[in-house]
Every structure is written in C-alpha cells, then in structure tokens.
Structure 1
C-alpha cells in the first residue's frame, strides 16, 4: 500500500493529464523553449512550470476563483518546487543514490497495466508535453529524491529522545493558571428595537432556573447562544484571555462549584460556572508526548531538508530569470 502511494505521488504528470483537463489549460509547446531558471546545467522551462502549476492549482484553489494574483503566487510555488527538486536530485547523485533499472521497468509495467496499455500510458504522458522516455527519466529522478529524503531527512524519534528534549526544555511547556468552566451566553440582537431587554429577560430566566437547582448543563443547552450549548456549555480548561476582561474579573474570584451572577457586556449577557481551578503548571510529559513527537519530527525534518538544499547550493549555481 505504501509503495503504491509513493508511485501515485510521484506521477503527478499523468494525473495532470487526466484529472485537470476541465481547467482548459492549454500549454503552448513553444514554452518549452523559454528558459525561466537554471540549476547548474539543468534548464527549467516555462512548460515545466506550467505543468507543475496545473497540478498545484486544484490542490490550492479547488472550487475557488483563481485571480491573476493567485496565479502569480502559484507560479512562484511551482518554480521553487522545481528548483528544489533539481537541487535534491543533485544531492542524491552526489551521495551515490541509485535506482535499479529493473525497478523502473517494473514501475513502468505497473503503470501501463493501471492505464490499460503502454500505448494509453504514452498518450497520457504526451498530453503533459513530454515523451515516454522523458517520463521514465522523470520517474527515476523522483524515486532517487524519495530515497534521498528517506535516508537523510526522515526522523524516527524514540520515547527517550522525546523525554530528553522535554526535560531540557520544560519552560516551553509551562501552562498558566486555568479554570474549567461551563458557559451560558445570551446575545443581544441589535436588529431588534428591544434586543437588549429581550436578551436580559432571557438571561434572568436562565439564571433563575440555575438558582432553583436545575442542572447548569441543561440550562445552557436550553438558553445559551454559544456553540458550547450542545455540550451543556462545557468549555473545558480555559486560560486568561479567553473571555473579556470584565468577565474574567468576576470568574477568577469564584471557587470550584460556584456560579457567577449575570455579567453584562456590550455583546450580551454571560453566566459562568467554575468547575475546577488549575494552578500554573508544567504540562506532564504523558499529556504532551504525542503532540511533541509530531511537532519535533516536523521541525527536525524541515531542518534536515533545508540543509540538503543549502549543501547543494554550495556546489550548484541557481539562476532565476524574469522573477
């Protein structure tokens, strides 16, 4: 399954030919003559850029209006991606990474089978502006880059790695004092002549029911205009800054189990129940571990990726025309 996904990822050219014809994006063959960038002795043409844009377009602006400004932004993305690809390909060759020809043969056969025949595959590839042989080289290049990234960029952090980082950087995981609250918000409808009075009366009804001993969650579901009403007004733990200052001045005085009075602001009326108070703390490792794994993995992989590009740029000159 993983292997098939890799194949599909690298074969954006075929996808471009089949999936995106609805954009009526005709690529002028003359664009193949227009060089827009050079990476060492490799020339990147406007046709290359247009082909890549054709793939990026539905990924970035699906069902959205594509303005000239957005197309310029998309072109920059496409050109950068193509330049980075050539730099990574250079690094792959420099590091001696190879893809056996028999593996390319096998993948070409697999694709021909997927698209019914080699003739059909060739027809689809031609729609992208290149020959089947050029496509084969494109595939080889992409598999070499894929292998380079796996060997030099991929990061697999152990729990020990995460724990060591956590212990050295505990200050990053400090969490301020927080309150666990349930919330009722009655908004003022400014389009109604007596909007504020109507909202106040509704808030007073809600507050009266709470005072009579009705469950706060049930009252929130019945009266609140906040989305949290579907969970009985539950917001979980919130830090300072979640509410307006006027509300916070009231609720931070409350003890767990206590309910505020009706707090009026410009936007409406608020009733808050404090269920728990949690002092400032360092978030426990077990609570942050998986989030830390994701964020740290992405950070380290990005650093390794950028280093590969920088190493290549020390040897390879990059020139961009008509920025």
Structure 2
C-alpha cells in the first residue's frame, strides 16, 4: 500500500471511528450481527461496514478484481483492529469510572452544528439516519472518556528533555533546510468575452500596464486597480513562494529575475501575468530556535504512539476477547 493510500485510509478510519453512528449506511441491508466481544463491549458487522463503505468508494476507483478484494480485506482487518483497541480502552475507562461532564459533550455537538451549518441541518441529517441526538451524544461521550484515559495513562507520563530535542536537531539538520524562496507580486489579467474580442483587449491592457511599469508606475497600485488575481486587494502581494509552487512556464522565468525586476508578459491558461520579484532568499539551514517546537511535538508523538501500543497490548493480555 503506497504512502498516499495509507494516509487516506488512516484519516478515513479516524473520522469514521468518531462519526460511525452518523455515517450513511449503504443501500443494501446490513445484518447487525456481533463480530467481536471485548470484555463487556461488542463490535457489530454494521459498524465495520459503515466505516468500510467510504473506503470501498475510494478503492474501487483505483483497484480492480482480486487486487480490490485484497485491499478491502486489508482495510477491514485494520478497521477491526482499531475498533478492538477502542473497546479495550473504553472498557478500562469504565472500570476506572472516568467522568465526563455534559458541557464537554455539548461542546462537541455545537462544533458539529457549526460544521453542518445550523441546528436544523443537524436535525435533518439525524432524521435521515434514523438517529437521535441522545445517541449521538452518547457516542461523543465515549470518545471523550477514551481520550481522557489515554491522556492519563500515556500523555501525562511522557517527558521530552531539552537534550533530546537538541540531539535530534543536530542529528537531522539536513531535514531542516529552508529552500530558496522568492517574494512575489503579481498582476493577472483574465481573458474577457471572446466573441467581443475580449482576449485581444485583455492582452492590450496587459501591454499597457507593462508599459506603465517600465515608465516607473507603482506595481502595487496598478495591481489593486487592474488585477483579476486573488491578491489584487493586497497590491498583488503573493508572499514567499518556493520551487514547485508555480506553474512551470512561470517558475522558469521568475526564478531568473533579480530582486526588484519585473517580468514581461507571461501567458498561461489563467490569462496574462506580470510578476515582480520583491526579495530573494537563498537556501539555508533553519536555526534551532525556529524548529524546536516542531521537534518537541514530533518526539512527543513518537513516544506517545510507542507507549500507547504497549499499554493497549497490556490491556489485551488481561481482556476477554471473543471472535464470533
């Protein structure tokens, strides 16, 4: 499985694990049989199918035949593993009487309302899925309980020392290279109605703007007045860009300009462009102070993942797990 598909699958599972109870079921009838029992918790076939459904939708555009079947089976195994781990933690959290206040659940519901657009949109979605707000709240409550226990058993016990951070930086300096960047302003004139000779008029306007720039007119002012680009309101200021950010036919020209220089007219599928290089930054190694927080977060995630795996493994050893 390539990196993109792994990342896609991971994100889908995380999303669906939280919203499994509100995801759309497939049109086919789903038999809600018990697949696994974890202590006093259960995992049903419906849960697995609901999470697998969007993955199937993605995979069938990429894979066919036996390859599709194999990929889906891999996805199903990963989903089931994730659900078992979820139930192990939930079971342990209930043993330890982890408490959740209603206002914490309400906050999550309100976040979802904002994403949906309004309370009415949320109610319509719940009605379509034959779900109640109480059921949704219960699912959120479980997730909050799980997160609290993980924070207690894993997060609170992780320590990142300054020496660890510094040593990581010294050992991975090549990973903290800042590539060459240029600060650009841009004017974009989009072609107008072709039937009225709009393309010719757009080119004539661009030529006139370029002429005025050569005569000393202010690039920022002309961009605000004439540009059709998304940065027109900021005087055409695009900010810093690096290689790969621009269209190839544009990049090859602007990267050869010196600071303060203005390009000629460059045509692309978007229209007619004029660029000005405000500043050029040479490649450099980022200072430790610039990346310290990034390194701390990375080391924390690595330790947290390792500790979480060990803790879940210990829970599994003492748990009752039965596959039906």
Q: TM-score, with normalisation over the residues of structure 1?
A: 0.59
Deviation of 1:311 after TM superposition, in Å, equals 4.6
Cα distance in 2 for residues equivalent to 1:226 and 1:219: 12
In structure 2, do the counterparts of structure 1 residues 306 and 187 end up closer, same or farther at CA, with 3 Å as the change threshold?
farther
Aligned-residue RMSD, C-alpha:
4.8
Deviation of 1:257 after TM superposition, in Å, equals 1.1
Q: Does the CA contact (< 8 Å) of 1:91 and 1:308 recur in 2?
A: no
- Structure 1: gaps spanning 5 or more residues: 1-11, 24-29, 57-67, 112-124, 130-134
Alignment of 1:52-63 (within 5 A): none
Matched, 1:88 2:89: yes
Cα distance in 2 for residues equivalent to 1:289 and 1:151: 26
Q: Which residue number in structure 2 is paired with residue 200 of structure 1?
A: 203
Q: Which residue number in structure 2 is paired with residue 217 of structure 1?
A: 220
In structure 2, do the counterparts of structure 1 residues 191 and 39 end up closer, same or farther at CA, with 3 Å as the change threshold?
farther
Matched, 1:250 2:253: yes
SS at match of 2:264: coil
Q: TM-score, with normalisation over the residues of structure 2?
A: 0.58
In structure 2, do the counterparts of structure 1 residues 216 and 310 end up closer, same or farther at CA, with 3 Å as the change threshold?
farther
Alignment of 1:19-168 (within 5 A): 34-39=33-38, 42-45=41-44, 49=47, 69-70=53-54, 82-89=83-90, 98-99=96-97, 128=135, 143=145, 146-154=148-156, 155=158, 157=160, 159-168=162-171
Cα distance in 1 for residues equivalent to 2:247 and 2:55: 41
Deviation of 1:273 after TM superposition, in Å, equals 0.9
Q: Does the CA contact (< 8 Å) of 1:262 and 1:271 recur in 2?
A: yes
Q: Does the CA contact (< 8 Å) of 1:216 and 1:232 recur in 2?
A: yes
In structure 2, do the counterparts of structure 1 residues 207 and 299 end up closer, same or farther at CA, with 3 Å as the change threshold?
farther
Q: Does the CA contact (< 8 Å) of 2:160 and 2:300 recur in 1?
A: yes
Deviation of 1:144 after TM superposition, in Å, equals 7.7
Deviation of 1:193 after TM superposition, in Å, equals 5.4
Rg (Cα) greater in structure: 1
Count of residues in Structure 1 that have an aligned counterpart in Structure 2:
252
- Structure 2: gaps spanning 5 or more residues: 1-17, 25-30, 58-75, 106-131
Q: Does the CA contact (< 8 Å) of 1:88 and 1:145 recur in 2?
A: no
SS at match of 1:259: coil
